[in-house]
Amino acid sequence: MKKSVSLLVLFMLVAAISIAEAGVVRNNAGCGVGSMIFGDKDGLLFEILATTTNGICGNQTFGMTSGTLGCAPMKGIVSNEKINLYVADNMDNLAKDIAKGNGEYLETLALLMNVPESEKQQFFTKLQSNFNKIYTSNDVTSTEVVKNIEAVLQNS
């Protein structure tokens, strides 16, 4: 009967894990430096910086899930870092939308780049038709992607 008691305890524990919600952070986004929690005395500010780290490092490439770069947070976001950050964090989905010529990730890029509603379609078509110039290699980095997008748009 001892066995059954210990089994029971074990299963109760399993049950408990199961009832629990997903609200437990075990694997943080960001570079692993910034906890997702307001743990630092800088609070929210630190939080945002922590999640921007990947973008600042500029090394993001396809197939990277967040947290794999392992670089330290830097202070002082400059203006176009928002775009760098967004492109870095959404490399794969953005590339897919650019290739398809539509989609939420592409719409969001247009918003970040202040593309007026009337020019959006033109913007999408332009990126789609220049896909090869933007994604120049299979392991292109996000900073290169941003630069290439810029170049494609300026050559209009």
Closest of 142, 24, 126, 14 to residue 87, by C-alpha:
142
Is position 145 an interface residue for another protein (rule: CB under 8 A)?
no
Neighbours of 14 (CB within 10 A): 8
Report CA dihedral (81, 54, 57, 97) to the nearest 10 degrees. Answer: -60
Is position 3 an interface residue for another protein (rule: CB under 8 A)?
yes
Phi, psi (5° rounding) for residue 109?
-60, -45
Identity at 5, one-letter amino acid code: V
Q: Which is nearer to another protein, 72 or 129 (by Cβ)?
A: 129
Among 75, 76, 117, 154, which residue interacts with another protein (rule: CB under 8 A)?
154
- In the range 23-52, which residues lie near another protein by CB under 8 A? 23-26, 29-30, 35-39, 41-45, 47-48, 51
**Tokens 């199961």 belong to residue:** 18
- In the range 84-143, which residues lie near another protein by CB under 8 A? 86, 89-90, 92-93, 95-96, 98-102, 104-105, 107-108, 111-116, 119, 124-125, 128-129, 131-132, 135, 138-139
Three-class DSSP category at 79: coil
**Tokens 């810029």 belong to residue:** 150
Q: Which is nearer to another protein, 33 or 99 (by Cβ)?
A: 99
Q: How many residues bind another protein (CB under 8 A)?
A: 83
Among 33, 59, 62, 144, which residue interacts with another protein (rule: CB under 8 A)?
62
Cα–Cα distance for residue pair 144/67, rounded to 1 Å: 20
Is position 65 an interface residue for another protein (rule: CB under 8 A)?
yes
